[in-house]
Amino acid sequence: MKDSELDSIDKHILYYLQQDARGTSSSDIAEELDLSSSTVRTRLNKLEESGIVRGYHIDIDYELAGYPLYTKIICTAPVSQRDAFANEARKISGVTAVREVMTGKRNVYVNAIGRDHDDLNRISEELDALGLDVVDEQLIRDEYVCPFHGFLGPEERAAPPAENDS
């Protein structure tokens, strides 16, 4: 199943799951789409089996969990080794995400958390020891994640969300 094979129902299921996958049941989605819960569960199973839905991830407030520093470390890796370095970087304690970028010399982005500046410095040193060239470090105040609105059509994106009377 590829994006071109997703119909409107699949796209709506993905949209609703992006908003709160843990707190949204197939019954909730079925009610929004005027479908049966079993239809939504069947569709969702197919989305999972095809690899489109890869998991349900927790959103942690690291500051409240005792890790007040959040940084994005921007690195350069040889293109032929970019994926290997990115996978190795994921194993470093404190690293929360790694992105491979397809353009330019700044081609590996590492998100990391720490209790103090020593933690962040250790992570940068470990990235350097892997062979990544650290070219920039940005201390992040906050990051906001939102659902991809492209799963909805233009008319649905333009319409205000329905009020819930309950």
Residue extents of the structural domains in the chain: 7-57, 69-140
CATH architecture, range 69-140: 2-Layer Sandwich (3.30)
| 135, 75 contact by CB (below 8 A) | yes
Summarize pLDDT for 51-110 with one digit per residue, the tens: 999 988 888 889 999 999 999 999 999 999 999 999 999 999 999 999 999 888 999 999
CATH-assigned architecture of domain 7-57 = Orthogonal Bundle (1.10)
Q: How confident is the model over 20-65, as pLDDT tens digits?
A: 888 889 999 999 999 999 999 999 999 999 999 998 888 888 999 9
Q: Are strands 108-114 and 133-140 parallel, antiparallel or unpaired?
A: unpaired
